[in-house]
Amino acid sequence: MTKMETIGSGRNLTYALLDSVGKAIVVGAYDASPFPTEADLAKQYEVSRSVTREAVKMLTAKGLLVARPRKGTSVQPARAWNLFDPDVLRWMLERKFSLDLLRQFNELRIAIEPMAAVLAAETADANGIAAIEAGYQRMVAAEAGDDDPLEADIAFHIAVLEAGLSP
């Protein structure tokens, strides 16, 4: 599966490449090998260098990659990843369970979520409240076996975080 039509199928090529490479990073595809150059990625996925460059920039912004002069681009350790980024969280659902990553994620949640809940309670608009309610209903559905428990939990917590950021 290297051609973009097999992973993009009508979607924007940059986002299709972002999704494919991001998922590969998070599930550990590059743990035992160096991250490819932009030229190699462009050739492998049959996309332009500009598409590849933009996807690599987006992965860097998500904390998955770091570029260093004369050393190239490399995968960041999981502790550097933006665990509140919806793409990163979605990709993590496909990763093998890691006790260390779970511990780090829970520490981050304990540090941030109480204040996020306070901010959401004080500032959330109707859309934010609706998103929190939808996330909660997904957790109820997951408890009944009608939704994925982890995805429902993530959706709820992201809704609380985003509602707390509402103007």
Q: How far is CA 66 from CA 6, 62, 63, 141, in A?
A: 27, 10, 7, 39
Residue 2 has pLDDT above 50, yes or no: no
Count, residues in the chain: 167
Residue 105 has pLDDT above 50, yes or no: yes
Tokens 């809940």 sit on residue: 117
Looking at residue 167, what is its pLDDT?
64
Single pTM value for the model? 0.61
Looking at residue 10, what is its pLDDT?
41
Spatial distance between the Cα atoms of 71 and 159, rounded to a whole number of angstroms: 38
Tokens 């608009």 sit on residue: 125
pLDDT band of 76, cuts 50, 70, 90: very high
pLDDT in tens, 21-70: 999 999 889 988 999 999 999 999 999 999 999 999 999 999 999 998 88
Q: How far is CA 39 from CA 3, 49, 53, 128, 155, in A?
A: 15, 7, 9, 42, 36
Architecture of domain 4-80 in this structure: Orthogonal Bundle (1.10)
Return the domain boundaries, the chain: 4-80, 97-164
Q: Is 9 left (phi over 0), alpha (psi -120 to 50) or beta?
A: left
The DSSP output letter for 12 is -
Q: How far is CA 12 from CA 7, 17, 40, 43, 90, in A?
A: 10, 9, 20, 17, 19
pLDDT in tens, 79-88: 899 877 888 9
Average pLDDT, the chain: 86
Spatial distance between the Cα atoms of 37 and 59, rounded to a whole number of angstroms: 14
